[in-house]
Amino acid sequence: MSPLAANATRGTTPLPAPWRCDVVGTFAHRTCTERWPAIVRATAVDVPNAAAPLRALADEIEAGALRALALTTADPPRWRAIDAYVGGPWTALPWYLGESFLYARLREAVGFPNDGRDPFLPAKQREERGLLAPDGAEHADDAALARALWRSLWGNRGDLSLPEARAHTGTDVADLVADERAAALELLVAARRVAVVLDNAGGELAADLALARALAARGVSVTLMPKDAPFFVSDALPADIDRLAARGHGTGGAAVVVDPFFTGPDFLRTAALPKTLAALLADVDVIVAKGDCNYRRLVGDAPWSPGDGRRFDDVVDLPAPVLALRTLKAEVLVGADPARAAAAASRDPAWLVSGRFGVVQVARGASRKLR
């Protein structure tokens, strides 16, 4: 276990019940009833030989009875939590459980367990066309690290499942509703081993690889953790890293580790981690958790009250310090600055889900050791 991880604070606040899909008027309900069927139907356009099962899945989400995965796939054991909802409407599901299961069903529909084909590859490749190669070697100074962190944060808007987030292009400090950059940089400057739990491919992945190179330039050992299977449309896979590396977006020598846990139904809590993953994360100095889905899993995907004074590090429970870099695309937020949250709400009624606003947050139990 790393010296910093040994002093990491475990979450002390009990998690509320998570968001459910049946709460009309919430983003979770809109996601289940509108966004999921639209995502599945859009995938059918890119994967025409699986159009029929994909359209059937979209119809099932909208008006049918939820069914379990076929027993012929390797996945069913980890989806036992779904059993209680089989035969009922998709809207009865807890949001994250339903969303993660959606992608298991989508993978089944396109035959991914058999052929390993990424049904979202055409969409990812369209997004990558506009990427430019890096403009030179990464520098090892603190200012270069701060720039890489900033770019990595706002790269999280590059979510192929939420076009409205991609429409925002500014990177204004006023758009941060939690700004713990000083603590974040303090952690990264002191770190010797960093794990980056990746989110989206494309532009965000390019920014995350730049962060990995900036850390490597300082002698930091970096582990990149992409998904093992297609997930949330644009989530990065090892093949996405390889494709960008071939275009000049290198990893800085980072290790690449995949674990099926990251495409499963459990929250990111120490007790839920497989032993090998728990050991890996306990051995790093900082876990950089990228994006909205990872954030939701860190804090139990629950309807917290933004800006209520509750601290992020009272909720997070992982075996090493955590740095969350995320733009807001869900009604899930802990530890926002009350004044910044109020200002964001006055500027944008959809501030929690539009992707315009972001957070840089640290699990501070370990960061206090450095002061």
How confident is the model at residue 7, as a pLDDT?
Answer: 37
75, 113 Cβ separation under 8 angstroms: yes
Express each pLDDT in 222-232 by its tens digit.
999 999 999 99
Cα–Cα distance, 202 to 234 (Å, whole number): 8
pLDDT, tens digit only, all 371 positions of the chain: 544 444 344 566 788 999 999 999 999 999 999 999 999 999 999 999 999 999 999 999 999 899 999 866 666 678 999 999 999 999 999 999 999 999 999 999 999 999 999 999 999 999 999 898 888 777 889 999 999 999 999 999 999 988 888 888 888 999 999 999 999 999 999 999 999 999 999 999 999 999 999 999 999 999 999 999 999 999 999 999 999 999 999 999 999 999 999 999 999 999 999 999 999 999 999 999 999 999 999 999 999 988 777 899 999 999 999 999 999 999 999 999 999 999 999 999 999 999 999 999 998 654 333 32
Q: Does the domain formed by 27-124 have CATH 3.40.50?
A: no
Domain boundaries, the chain: 5-17+137-370, 27-124
Bridging pattern class, strands 176-179 and 193-197: unpaired
What superfamily would CATH give domain 5-17+137-370?
Uncharacterised protein PF01937, DUF89, domain 3 (3.40.50.10880)
Question: Under 8 Å CB-to-CB from 300, ≥6 apart: which residues?
Answer: 15, 16, 18, 267, 315
SS3 content of the chain, % helix, strand, coil (to 5): 45, 10, 45
Question: Under 8 Å CB-to-CB from 120, ≥6 apart: which residues?
Answer: 43, 46, 160, 230, 233, 234
How confident is the model at residue 165, as a pLDDT?
Answer: 86
Express each pLDDT in 114-164 by its tens digit.
999 999 999 999 999 989 888 877 788 999 999 999 999 999 999 998 888
Global model pTM greater than 0.95: no
How confident is the model at residue 11, as a pLDDT?
Answer: 62
